[in-house]
Amino acid sequence: MVVSAIPLTAKDYKSEVKPTWCPGCGDFAVLSATYKALADLQLRPEKVVVVSGIGCSSRIPYFCNTYGTHTLHGRALPVATGIKMARPDLTVVVMGGDGDLFSIGAGHFPHAARRNLDILTVCMDNQTYGLTKAQYSPTSFVGHKSKSSPYGTVEMPMNPVLMALASGASWVARGYSGRPKQLQELIVEGIRHKGFAFLHVQSPCTEFHNTYNYYDARVQDIPKDHDPTDYMAAIRLAMPQEKTLLGVFYRSERPVYEERLRAFEQIKVEFDPDEFLSRYG
């Protein structure tokens, strides 16, 4: 992480592009928490890359005064992997929806997590497909009626927190758009964490699936006595609960991928084509 000399404020991370989200969309809270978190960390904007896939939530790079890529539906993690492997000096944050990261992109998620790249992945989970206008998503609850599930879904919802834990993410947490301050703190901690950090955010879609009331009544902080270094305890907390738990489930120290790959750097040599070709002589 590179820290700026002149103190930066949240505004410095705001681009000239105005968000196009619907009024009240949960993603606004994630965006403003991101600005503030970047300011808390004093990261130089040119050293940050925000990577996203496709979906309402994935528009977020355009609203940030940082480098960014708005890639393909489900493909943010591979692109982020390449960026971080090639340039470990950059702070890479992946941001996207539940459909993006856990439906079409589900094949990439466990691999990014197990590699333990030093990136933060933020899933803005609205339990619906916002951009394509209200089909059900992989995190929709059983019985959820939507345009593509007129009789109610019969599929078990995916559990992103449990999946992150099972895949080997070394930092796993949950936030809620209705609790912006905590969200900001979690983003700060997630970026600071050295390794693959996963932040699951309940981020309601006011247009198609307004769950603010549902979550307001049901979110609760993870009990204070939870030890986030206890993997089994984290798994127990991540199992379906009466309440939707917020906070850090799990935290562990593990060598990060891009550094282990660079264990060779000490023997870094210039490529010598002449020598390379000689082995075929």
Distance of closest approach, residue 259 Cβ to ligand SF4, in angstroms? 36
DSSP 15: -
- Interface with another protein, residue 281, by CB under 8 A: yes
- Interface with ligand SF4, residue 91, by CB under 6 A: no
User: Residue 173 — φ and ψ, nearest 5°?
Assistant: -145, 165
Residue 44 CB partners (closer than 8 Å, separation 6+)? 2, 3, 4, 8
Closer residue to ligand TPP, CB minimum distance, 19 or 88:
19
**Contacts (CB under 6 A) with ligand TPP, residues 23-82:** 54-57, 73
Q: What DSSP string describes 44-75?
A: -GGGEEEEE-SSSGGGGGGGBSSEEEE--TT-
Distance of closest approach, residue 128 Cβ to ligand SF4, in angstroms? 7
| Two tokens, residue 260 | 């282990």
**Contacts (CB under 8 A) with another protein, residues 15-74:** 17, 20, 44-47, 49, 51, 54, 61-62, 65-72
In the set 173, 205, 222, 245, which binds ligand SF4 (CB under 6 A)?
Answer: 205
- Interface with another protein, residue 267, by CB under 8 A: yes
- C-beta of residue 174 within 8 angstroms of C-beta of residue 249: yes
Per-residue x/- mask for ligand SF4, residues 20 to 39, rule CB under 6 A? Answer: -xx--x-x------------
Closer residue to ligand TPP, CB minimum distance, 34 or 126:
126
Alpha-carbon span 58 to 100, nearest angstrom: 8
- C-beta of residue 244 within 8 angstroms of C-beta of residue 173: no
| Two tokens, residue 180 | 């912006």
Residue 137 — left, alpha, or beta (φ > 0 → left; ψ -120 to 50 → alpha)?
beta
Whose tokens are 């075929």? That residue is 280
Stretch that binds ligand SF4, among 18-26, 144-152, 183-191, 248-256 (CB under 6 A): 18-26
Give the distance, in angstroms, between the CA of residue 142 and the centroid of all CA atoms in the same chain. Answer: 24
List residues binding ligand TPP (CB under 6 A). 54-57, 73, 96-100, 124, 126, 128-132, 137
Which positions lie near another protein, rule CB under 8 A? 17, 20, 44-47, 49, 51, 54, 61-62, 65-72, 75, 77-87, 89-90, 107-108, 111, 258, 261-262, 264-265, 267-271, 273-274, 276-278, 280-281
